[in-house]
Amino acid sequence: MSKTIQRSWFDQYMVPCFSPAPFIPVRAEGSRVWDQDGKGYIDFAGGIAVNVLGHANNELKEALSAQMENLWHIGNGYTNEPVLKLAQALVESTFADKVFFCNSGAEANEAALKIARKYALDKYGSHKNEIISFENSFHGRTLFTVTVGGQPKYSQDFAPLPQQITHLPYNDIETIKAHISEKTCAVIVEPIIGEGGIILADQAFLEALRELCDQHQALLIFDEIQTGIGRTGYLYAYEETGVEPDILTSAKGLGGGFPIGAMLVKQHIAEVFQPGSHGTTFGGNPLAAAVAHKVLSIVNQREFLAGVQARHHEFIRQMSTLNQRYPLFSEIRGKGLLLGAELEKKYQGKAKTLTNIAAEEGLIALIAGPDVLRFAPALNIEQQDINEGFARLENAFKRFVQE
């Protein structure tokens, strides 16, 4: 079959800030993807923790088509029915009293950081402006969010950077206790560090953050862009910890593949944003909101979330069995369907090589840094696809150890 559209066009026409795989996916259904040549792949990546209901989900297609017939976009001079329904559903399902919608995770964090600064300014004065975040964290690619993120490689080339941002070691209670002060306006934390290597927060660490923020009148922001929307077996990961944030950011899975982000806040914080304080053209778009409302109504069900936990055990079981046959990993960790496997010392730095081989064998997987293989599949992935995916992974492991 002659292909009119080639992978080489990426290099010819696109800004080279990504390095996509040599094949081009053209069609997908559930947890299966096909490329231009008709080759099939099992999807253990879920569009990087986005496609929570798999690809081309019928209920999402219906929600989108129905909205498409009525209203695509209207702008923020008007509100619309889907966004109101979605806001109500998020408020009724969480700690939050109010929601702000945008289009991505970075924008949700940008809104969270801006509202935290404004809240501190309005309530306490301009001296209270420090933001504390954690080493290895990832919060997005805007200038503010790369600076807040704890990976200097993403911010160092873009100076001058926003100021009064401190990075502290994750899970280190003593260090933050010694550092936090009346100048701190917010602490932002991922309940599981995602991009930075699937590192779980200790329960005691999150509890300490809540206590320290309360003591110092600082806001606690949970970045649940990767951990939210059922990913850990809870609608949001904070529910399991019992630690309630003041602000929570959500994106990725919220739209199940349709771009949308949200910042969830308590009432007293929401009040500091008034008409004109912040905004976006597309945030709260009716198409995105209609899809997200359907996602939420499916995911936020006890049986659905129990299914995520069951699949977690199945993934851990199959991964552990495989690791006994091919001892590539020193640790397998994660919650729900956000899983990481850390390469043994002698294979470190080779996670990308492993996912490249896996793709050749027909399995799409992710990395989380150079040493960690990551899975973030659809939350409704079928047993048959899990089995087939692990069979292909075994082929990849076999080749990886030989090569």
Ligand X SMILES: Cc1ncc(COP(=O)(O)O)c(C=O)c1O
How far, in Å, CA of 42 to CA of 32, rounded? 5
Should residue 148 be labelled a site residue for ligand X when binding is judged by CB under 6 A? no
- The least distance separating ligand X from the CB of residue 228, rounded to whole angstroms, comes to 9
Name the one range near ligand X by CB under 6 A: 91-99, 133-141, 167-175, 212-220: 133-141
Closer to ligand X by CB, 198 or 322: give it.
Answer: 198
The annotation status of 225 as a binding-site residue, yes or no, is yes
Q: Which of 133, 136, 226, 285 binds ligand X (CB under 6 A)?
A: 226
- Surface-to-core class of residue 316, CB atoms within 10 Å of its CB (0-12 exposed, 13-18 middle, 19+ buried): middle
The annotation status of 106 as a binding-site residue, yes or no, is yes
The annotation status of 138 as a binding-site residue, yes or no, is yes
The annotation status of 226 as a binding-site residue, yes or no, is yes
Name the one range near ligand X by CB under 6 A: 16-24, 65-73, 135-143, 213-221: 135-143
Task: Count interface residues toward ligand X (CB under 6 A).
Answer: 14
Which residues neighbour 383 within 8 Å (Cβ) at sequence distance 6 or greater? 314
The annotation status of 173 as a binding-site residue, yes or no, is no
Strand bridging mode 261-265 / 247-250: antiparallel
- The least distance separating ligand X from the CB of residue 263, rounded to whole angstroms, comes to 12
Should residue 140 be labelled a site residue for ligand X when binding is judged by CB under 6 A? yes
Should residue 225 be labelled a site residue for ligand X when binding is judged by CB under 6 A? yes
The annotation status of 100 as a binding-site residue, yes or no, is no
Closer to ligand X by CB, 54 or 261: give it.
Answer: 261
- Surface-to-core class of residue 13, CB atoms within 10 Å of its CB (0-12 exposed, 13-18 middle, 19+ buried): exposed
Cα-based distances in Å from 78 to 65, 144, 222, 274: 22, 29, 30, 16
In a 13 Å sphere around the CA of 182, the CA atoms on its Cβ side amount to 5
3-class DSSP assignment, residue 340: strand
The distance in angstroms from the start CA to the end CA of the chain is 31
Cβ atoms within 10 Å of 24's Cβ, excluding its own:
15
Closer to ligand X by CB, 196 or 389: give it.
Answer: 196
- The least distance separating ligand X from the CB of residue 137, rounded to whole angstroms, comes to 7
The annotation status of 374 as a binding-site residue, yes or no, is no
> Structure tokens of 203?
């329960």
Should residue 336 be labelled a site residue for ligand X when binding is judged by CB under 6 A? no
Residues of this chain, 96-125, that bind ligand X according to CB under 6 A? 104-106, 109
How open is the CA angle 256-259-265, to the nearest 5 degrees?
A: 90
- Nearest CA-CA partner of 287 in 262, 335, 261, 255: 255
The annotation status of 269 as a binding-site residue, yes or no, is no
User: Using CB under 6 A as the criterion, what x/- string covers residues 183-202 for binding ligand X?
Assistant: -------x---xx-------
Should residue 139 be labelled a site residue for ligand X when binding is judged by CB under 6 A? yes
Should residue 245 be labelled a site residue for ligand X when binding is judged by CB under 6 A? no
The annotation status of 314 as a binding-site residue, yes or no, is no
- The least distance separating ligand X from the CB of residue 90, rounded to whole angstroms, comes to 17
**Residue facing ligand X at closest CB distance:** 105
Give 162's DSSP letter: P
How far, in Å, CA of 280 to CA of 202, rounded? 35
Name the one range near ligand X by CB under 6 A: 90-98, 121-129, 206-214, 222-230: 222-230
Which residues neighbour 141 within 8 Å (Cβ) at sequence distance 6 or greater? 106, 154
- The least distance separating ligand X from the CB of residue 147, rounded to whole angstroms, comes to 13
Closer to ligand X by CB, 222 or 347: give it.
Answer: 222
- The least distance separating ligand X from the CB of residue 103, rounded to whole angstroms, comes to 8
> Structure tokens of 189?
């934390």
Cα-based distances in Å from 132 to 42, 85, 163, 239, 248: 39, 34, 11, 22, 15
- The least distance separating ligand X from the CB of residue 220, rounded to whole angstroms, comes to 15
Which residues neighbour 33 within 8 Å (Cβ) at sequence distance 6 or greater? 25, 27, 40, 41, 42, 43, 55, 364
Should residue 46 be labelled a site residue for ligand X when binding is judged by CB under 6 A? no
CB 194 within 8 A of CB 150: no
Closer to ligand X by CB, 86 or 192: give it.
Answer: 192
Indicate the annotated binding residues for N(2)-acetyl-L-ornithine.
141, 280
Chain residues binding ligand X by CB under 6 A are 104-106, 109, 138-140, 190, 194-195, 223, 225-226, 251
Indicate the annotated binding residues for pyridoxal 5'-phosphate.
105-106, 138, 223-226, 281
